[in-house]
Structure 1
């Protein structure tokens, strides 16, 4: 019988609120300078309070590393903005350079985050190659567009393979592989939910537009209200579809990811409706509290994801070894912070 070592989040909303409010106030007072240290404090809190098999994660980057990286990235973006204003040809050249260097920064970001993260005092690593990432960013999506997105599940599977298979725990490799069927099932489920939302409002709106064809749109407030509500319904359907897709894919990826030659496994039991309820209720509470309940919402989501994740050991968990990793700078990581880019293991 398989033994499941459940992930556990031991933090509390009260503790996290204290860290969060100090981070926020100091970041405002220092005009954003302290945000580099705020990021480190935030990651350390969530990593150090996440346990599996009685051992916790940790984050080892420093605020100074991240601040230097951010300063360089902000300077580069400032040069681009000034060029766009005064030297458009130079701005165009910089934009081309920006696009070309984008995968380099993303790889550096992934490597920086991995090498500054650990579990049971063993560091992670990322060894992804640039050539593969260029294909993922510039070639596969274009091919998917040319097929009217009917091949998008292949792109998603390729992204997961790249992200997971190139991560290491010490010198031990993760491995993910899967048939394409489950990715298509999740994709079609999401598309189906959106289409149902569109169908729900299409008939009503079409009928109203037909009946008021000779009347100015802005002279009919009821029609305008119904149009707004229709957009809202479609937006909610898209959000629901996204949550369902993420839950299905997360569960599937965990089930098909292995660690090391012993093939330690993983399990995710996230339920789409439960995840949707937490996401929606969190949003409502945060909005009505004017943001003050954000720490509570964050801890609530973190705890749910942890409680629905598990490691399935297949042998000893004491065999992981780590290399002495060379320092990597935070430029790629800083860029990913500014642009909101994330590509990582779905843990």
Structure 2
């Protein structure tokens, strides 16, 4: 007699197969260049640019990009800069011609032509930026893969709305100042003297509002362009991934203003102490010290200008480092790869100040070493995390690229304009 089968609820079921976790590999970015090597590239670029009155610039830019790209290793493979030299020269010539035409219009008093140049420049600025991004990304290769910037011109102009908002802000400020300017009483300036209108607190408030809105427009412009550049970039067919928010940019700008004010306070205290100490011995010299005081004031003004540059240098370095860290710690390539950045902003500020001091002491000849040091600190702070391994992911991306037309399209558009 056959044994009755067990009821369905009593049957033993196989446990579900567990998914095999995909391995994530970490690859620190490495920069293998040196200041001594780059100095040879830099000095040739400087000398030839001087001898050619600046027309060697596109060749110099290409040699510089090839040096830094070729010594930047991403997952043990160097980047490549493959921009066609002819198109870099053409873009440079276009900019030179437009600049000369604008300067001629300004110097010859052609106000209508100047106004048209300014309007055309504002209207074409997004086009120039988009063209330059297409050119630069299409000229960047890694393991045979070419980056692409695929944003449409409509998307570029939509991201550029802060440019036009900025123009509207200052048009409004101009008309507002005209409306707020009080009338000048008859004969207020005396016979033959120009009549200057009174500057009111309302006019000052309007100017401050215009400046504040201008800064917000500048921040928004930077955010829009960086986010568009990342999200509309492609490697193979994989899109870029973007996480930063607009308020992240606002916080960095606000902190930068704080660093600048602190630097300005320190420099102002230094100048005040220097001026007080320099004038104290001159008080007992009487009228003979007048000429010395004049020369001393001129020297202090020149020194003050350089001290102002020094006061802004920490703020500029701080902002550059914070923005670099924000970007590379929050972007990636679809679900395939992501970056992490450990750059310390204050270490970068200290490096920038040391480089600035050495550059001044060497009359500019330390500049290539300074540039290499700063580039190395930023590059070595970035780590690439790849899901599935470099060779596997690269193979997939190469097949995606070979199956599309993006490579040919990238060759047909874009110039080295900005």
The CA deviation string for residues 65-111 of structure 1, in whole angstroms up to 9 with x for no partner, is 21122222222332333333164323322332222112111111111
- Where 2:79 maps in the other structure, the secondary structure is strand
- Where 1:31 maps in the other structure, the secondary structure is coil
For residues 267 and 145 of structure 2, what CA distance do their matches in structure 1 show? 53
157-166 vs 80-89, greater mean Cα deviation: 80-89
- Where 1:103 maps in the other structure, the secondary structure is helix
Alignment-derived partner of residue 115 in structure 1: 138
Q: Is 1:54 the counterpart of 2:62 in the alignment?
A: no
Q: Is the contact between residue 227 and residue 242 of structure 2 (CA under 8 Å) also seen in structure 1?
A: yes
- Where 2:60 maps in the other structure, the secondary structure is helix
Alignment-derived partner of residue 324 in structure 1: 407
Alignment-derived partner of residue 334 in structure 2: 260
139-148 vs 41-50, greater mean Cα deviation: 139-148
For residues 102 and 150 of structure 1, what CA distance do their matches in structure 2 show? 19
The CA deviation string for residues 16-49 of structure 1, in whole angstroms up to 9 with x for no partner, is 2222222222333333333322221111111111
177-186 vs 9-18, greater mean Cα deviation: 177-186
Alignment-derived partner of residue 112 in structure 2: 89
The CA deviation string for residues 153-174 of structure 1, in whole angstroms up to 9 with x for no partner, is 5554333312221222232211
Alignment-derived partner of residue 157 in structure 2: 131
Alignment-derived partner of residue 6 in structure 1: 28
Which aligned pairs between 1:168-317 and structure 2 lie closer than 5 A?
168-198=234-264, 235-262=309-336, 264-316=337-389, 317=393
222-231 vs 193-202, greater mean Cα deviation: 222-231
For residues 101 and 287 of structure 1, what CA distance do their matches in structure 2 show? 38
What is the CA-CA distance between 1:11 and the residue it aligns to?
A: 1.6
- Where 2:365 maps in the other structure, the secondary structure is coil
Q: Is the contact between residue 80 and residue 140 of structure 2 (CA under 8 Å) also seen in structure 1?
A: yes
5+ long unaligned stretches in structure 1: 210-215, 337-347
Q: Is the contact between residue 162 and residue 217 of structure 2 (CA under 8 Å) also seen in structure 1?
A: no
For residues 270 and 37 of structure 2, what CA distance do their matches in structure 1 show? 49
Alignment-derived partner of residue 102 in structure 1: 125
- Where 1:178 maps in the other structure, the secondary structure is coil
Distance 1:24 1:178, change over 3 A: closer
**1:28 equivalent among 50, 59, 69:** 50
Alignment-derived partner of residue 158 in structure 1: 224
Q: Is the contact between residue 255 and residue 266 of structure 1 (CA under 8 Å) also seen in structure 2?
A: yes
What is the CA-CA distance between 1:222 and the residue it aligns to?
A: 8.6
For residues 204 and 181 of structure 1, what CA distance do their matches in structure 2 show? 35
Alignment-derived partner of residue 199 in structure 2: none
Which aligned pairs between 1:65-80 and structure 2 lie closer than 5 A?
65-80=87-102
Rg: which structure is higher?
A: 2
194-203 vs 27-36, greater mean Cα deviation: 194-203
For residues 271 and 356 of structure 2, what CA distance do their matches in structure 1 show? 28
The CA deviation string for residues 162-200 of structure 1, in whole angstroms up to 9 with x for no partner, is 222122223221121234554344233223223334555
For residues 57 and 234 of structure 1, what CA distance do their matches in structure 2 show? 38
For residues 74 and 379 of structure 2, what CA distance do their matches in structure 1 show? 9
Q: Is the contact between residue 197 and residue 233 of structure 1 (CA under 8 Å) also seen in structure 2?
A: no
Distance 1:310 1:140, change over 3 A: farther
For residues 83 and 148 of structure 1, what CA distance do their matches in structure 2 show? 27
Distance 1:193 1:76, change over 3 A: closer
5+ long unaligned stretches in structure 2: 1-22, 170-209, 277-289
65-74 vs 233-242, greater mean Cα deviation: 233-242
Q: Is 1:40 the counterpart of 2:80 in the alignment?
A: no
Distance 1:82 1:12, change over 3 A: same
The CA deviation string for residues 265-319 of structure 1, in whole angstroms up to 9 with x for no partner, is 1111111221112111112222222222222222211211111111111223313
